Amino acid sequence: MSTRFARVALDHPLDALYDYRYPDGWPEPRPGMLVRVPFGRRESVGLIVEVSAHSEVPANKLRDVIEVCASCPPLSEKWLALVEFAADYYQRGLGEVALPALPQALRDPPRWPRLLAPEERYRLLPAGREALPEALPARAAALRRLAEALVTAGELDLADARALHPKAAATLESWRDAGWVEYECVEFGAAPRASGQIPTVKNTDDADSADLSVGTNGNVDARATNGANGANGAKEPVALHRLSDEQQTAVEAIVESSGFAPFLLHGVTGSGKTEVYLRALAARLEREPEAQALVLVPEINLTPQFEAAFRTRFAGVLPDGAIVTMHSGLAEGERARHWLAAHTGRARIVLGTRLAVMASLPHLAMIVVDEEHDPAYKQQEGLRYSARDLAVWRAKQLAIPVVLGSATPSLESWWQADQGRYTRLTLSRRAMADAVLPTVKLIDLEEERRRGRASFEGLSGPLIAAMKARLERGEQSLIFLNRRGYAPTLACDACGWVAGCPRCSAYVVLHKPERALRCHHCGWESRIPHSCPECGNVDIAPMGRGTQRIEEALASAVPGARVLRIDADSTRRKGSAQALFSDVHAGEVDILVGTQMVAKGHDFQRVSLVGVLNADNALFSHDFRASERLFAQLMQVSGRAGRAGLPGEVLVQTRYPRHAIYHALARHDYVGFANSQVKERRDAHLPPFVYQALLRAEGRTLEAALAFLAEAAAALTAIPAASRVMAYDAVPLTIVKVMNVHRAQLLIESQSRAALQATLHAWQPALRALRGVLRWNLEVDPLDI
Q: Which residues bind ligand ADP (CB under 6 A)?
A: 241-244, 247, 267, 269-275, 431-432, 603, 643
Nearer CB in complex with ligand ADP: 276/504:
276
Nearer CB in complex with ligand ADP: 92/266:
266
Give the one entry of Zn ion, ligand ADP, none that residue 402 binds, where binding means its C-beta sits below a cut-off of 5 to 8 angstroms depending on kind: none
On whether the CB atoms of residues 741 and 774 are closer than 8 A, the answer is: yes
Give the one entry of ligand ADP, Zn ion, none that residue 698 binds, where binding means its C-beta sits below a cut-off of 5 to 8 angstroms depending on kind: none
Please check if 522 is assigned to a binding site. Answer: yes
Tell me the C-alpha distance between 423 and 705, whole Å.
Answer: 44
Give the one entry of Zn ion, ligand ADP, none that residue 82 binds, where binding means its C-beta sits below a cut-off of 5 to 8 angstroms depending on kind: none
Q: Exactly one of 537, 676, 764, 777 binds Zn ion (CB under 5 A); which one? A: 537
Measured CA to CA in angstroms, residue 414 lies from 402, 441, 630, 686 at distances of 15, 27, 17, 15
Please check if 69 is assigned to a binding site. Answer: no
Nearer CB in complex with Zn ion: 81/541:
541
On whether the CB atoms of residues 638 and 610 are closer than 8 A, the answer is: yes
On whether the CB atoms of residues 427 and 268 are closer than 8 A, the answer is: yes
- Cβ at position 390, least distance to ligand ADP in Å: 23
DSSP string, 317-373: TSPTTSEEEESTTS-HHHHHHHHHHHHTT--SEEEESGGGGG---TTEEEEEEETTT
Nearer CB in complex with Zn ion: 524/689:
524
Nearer CB in complex with Zn ion: 85/524:
524
Give the one entry of Zn ion, ligand ADP, none that residue 495 binds, where binding means its C-beta sits below a cut-off of 5 to 8 angstroms depending on kind: Zn ion
Nearer CB in complex with ligand ADP: 632/707:
632
Please check if 519 is assigned to a binding site. Answer: yes
- Cβ at position 172, least distance to ligand ADP in Å: 39
Q: Which pairing describes strands 525-527 and 649-654: parallel, antiparallel, or unpaired?
A: unpaired
How buried is residue 169: exposed, middle or buried, by Cβ count under 10 Å (0-12/13-18/19+)? middle
Q: Exactly one of 107, 343, 394, 521 binds Zn ion (CB under 5 A); which one? A: 521
- Cβ at position 499, least distance to Zn ion in Å: 11
CB atoms within 10 A of CB 773: 24
Please check if 72 is assigned to a binding site. Answer: no
Question: Is residue 646 near Zn ion by the rule CB under 5 A?
Answer: no
- Cβ at position 241, least distance to ligand ADP in Å: 3
Looking at this protein, which amino acid is placed at residue 401? Answer: P
- Per-residue binder mask for Zn ion (CB under 5 A), 466-495, x = binder: --------------------------x-xx
State the number of binding residues for Zn ion (CB under 5 A).
15
Question: Is residue 577 near Zn ion by the rule CB under 5 A?
Answer: no
Question: Is residue 497 near Zn ion by the rule CB under 5 A?
Answer: yes
Q: Exactly one of 535, 579, 671, 718 binds Zn ion (CB under 5 A); which one? A: 535
Give the one entry of Zn ion, ligand ADP, none that residue 521 binds, where binding means its C-beta sits below a cut-off of 5 to 8 angstroms depending on kind: Zn ion
- Cβ at position 284, least distance to ligand ADP in Å: 18
Q: What is the CA radius of gyration of the chain?
A: 28
SS3 content of the chain, % helix, strand, coil (to 5): 35, 25, 40
- Cβ at position 482, least distance to ligand ADP in Å: 20
Which distant-in-sequence residues (6+ apart) come within 8 Å of 644 by Cβ? 432, 435, 605, 606
Nearer CB in complex with ligand ADP: 34/283:
283
Write out the binding residues for Zn ion, residues 672-731 only, by CB under 5 A: none
Measured CA to CA in angstroms, residue 380 lies from 78, 181, 519, 782 at distances of 25, 41, 19, 9
On whether the CB atoms of residues 546 and 614 are closer than 8 A, the answer is: no
- Cβ at position 498, least distance to Zn ion in Å: 10
- Cβ at position 622, least distance to ligand ADP in Å: 32
Question: Which residue number has the CB closest to ligand ADP?
Answer: 272
Tell me the C-alpha distance between 1 and 363, whole Å.
Answer: 35
Nearer CB in complex with ligand ADP: 391/427:
427
Which distant-in-sequence residues (6+ apart) come within 8 Å of 478 by Cβ? 591, 592, 593, 594, 598, 604, 607, 609, 610, 611, 637, 640, 641
Nearer CB in complex with ligand ADP: 470/600:
600
Nearer CB in complex with Zn ion: 457/534:
534
- Cβ at position 605, least distance to ligand ADP in Å: 7
Give the one entry of Zn ion, ligand ADP, none that residue 267 binds, where binding means its C-beta sits below a cut-off of 5 to 8 angstroms depending on kind: ligand ADP
Give the one entry of Zn ion, ligand ADP, none that residue 494 binds, where binding means its C-beta sits below a cut-off of 5 to 8 angstroms depending on kind: Zn ion
On whether the CB atoms of residues 719 and 763 are closer than 8 A, the answer is: yes
- Cβ at position 297, least distance to ligand ADP in Å: 11
Nearer CB in complex with ligand ADP: 542/601:
601
Backbone angles phi, psi at 726, to 5 degrees: -110, 135
Tell me the C-alpha distance between 49 and 95, whole Å.
Answer: 10
Question: Is residue 532 near Zn ion by the rule CB under 5 A?
Answer: yes
Looking at this protein, which amino acid is placed at residue 629? Answer: R
Question: Is residue 395 near Zn ion by the rule CB under 5 A?
Answer: no
- Cβ at position 517, least distance to Zn ion in Å: 10
Give the one entry of ligand ADP, Zn ion, none that residue 85 binds, where binding means its C-beta sits below a cut-off of 5 to 8 angstroms depending on kind: none
Nearer CB in complex with ligand ADP: 339/581:
581
Paired strand residues for 423? 263
Q: Within its chain, how far is the Cα of 524 from the centroid?
A: 26
Q: How many C-alpha atoms does 173 have within 13 Å on its Cβ side?
A: 5
Paired strand residues for 264? 404, 424
Nearer CB in complex with ligand ADP: 201/704:
201
- Per-residue binder mask for Zn ion (CB under 5 A), 499-518, x = binder: --x-xx--------------
- Cβ at position 431, least distance to ligand ADP in Å: 3
Give the one entry of Zn ion, ligand ADP, none that residue 272 binds, where binding means its C-beta sits below a cut-off of 5 to 8 angstroms depending on kind: ligand ADP
Q: Exactly one of 519, 584, 651, 725 binds Zn ion (CB under 5 A); which one? A: 519
Closest CA to 569 of 506, 485, 487: 485
Tell me the C-alpha distance between 344 and 346, whole Å.
Answer: 6
Give the one entry of ligand ADP, Zn ion, none that residue 627 binds, where binding means its C-beta sits below a cut-off of 5 to 8 angstroms depending on kind: none
Which distant-in-sequence residues (6+ apart) come within 8 Å of 174 by Cβ? none
DSSP string, 483-506: --SSBSEEE-TTT--B-B-SSSSS
- Cβ at position 150, least distance to Zn ion in Å: 37
Closest CA to 18 of 101, 94, 77: 94
On whether the CB atoms of residues 405 and 267 are closer than 8 A, the answer is: yes
Paired strand residues for 157? 121
Paired strand residues for 509? 518
Binding-site residue numbers are 492, 495, 501, 504, 519, 522, 532, 535
What residues are designated binding site for Zn(2+)?
492, 495, 501, 504, 519, 522, 532, 535
Positions in the binding site for Zn ion (CB under 5 A): 492, 494-495, 497, 501, 503-504, 519, 521-522, 524, 532, 534-535, 537
